[in-house]
Amino acid sequence: MHKMSQTNTGAAFSGESQAHVKYLAFAAQAETEGFPEVARLFRAVSFAEQVHAIRHLKVLGGLEKTETNLGAAIDGETYEIQEMYPAFIAVSELQEEKQQPGHITGPWLQRKCTLACMSKHARQ
């Protein structure tokens, strides 16, 4: 695959993946507000976006045998815990944000760190 096509397919994968998760969140919100029919619609559209995302992932060669997929998942989670989120927190502190984003700090990060320990153990 040519580089530009790969970049475009990666962008399509990201967009479809984000839409999938966003529509699931919209469905949960609609359910909470008492709109089960709207929630069902959002879940249906979310499923379609998931199908599209998986198709792009396959084209990109990102779907392997289970053992390889497990390794990729562990690597991804480890990157988030050891590099990505610590960098986000450092930037937030450097910019003197009034509130640390709750989705990065606190109990959530502690759970992620526990997952990292479990991931390391799983690799042994």
Cβ contact 27:42 at 8 Å:
yes
Query: What would the two tokens of residue 18 be?
Result: 């984000």
Domain boundaries, the chain: 3-59, 66-123
Pick the CATH number of 3-59 from 1.20.1260.10, 1.20.120.340, 3.40.718.10, 3.90.550.10: 1.20.1260.10
Instruction: Tell me how far apart the alpha carbons of residues 66 and 44 are, in angstroms, rounded to a whole number.
Output: 27
Q: What is the pLDDT of residues 68-119, one digit of tens each?
A: 999 999 898 888 878 887 887 788 778 887 766 555 655 555 655 666 665 5
pLDDT interval class at 7 (50, 70, 90):
very high
Contacts of 74 (CB under 8 A, 6+ apart): 119, 122, 123
Instruction: Tell me how far apart the alpha carbons of residues 49 and 43 are, in angstroms, rounded to a whole number.
Output: 10
Cβ contact 50:20 at 8 Å:
yes
pLDDT at residue 94, as a whole number: 87
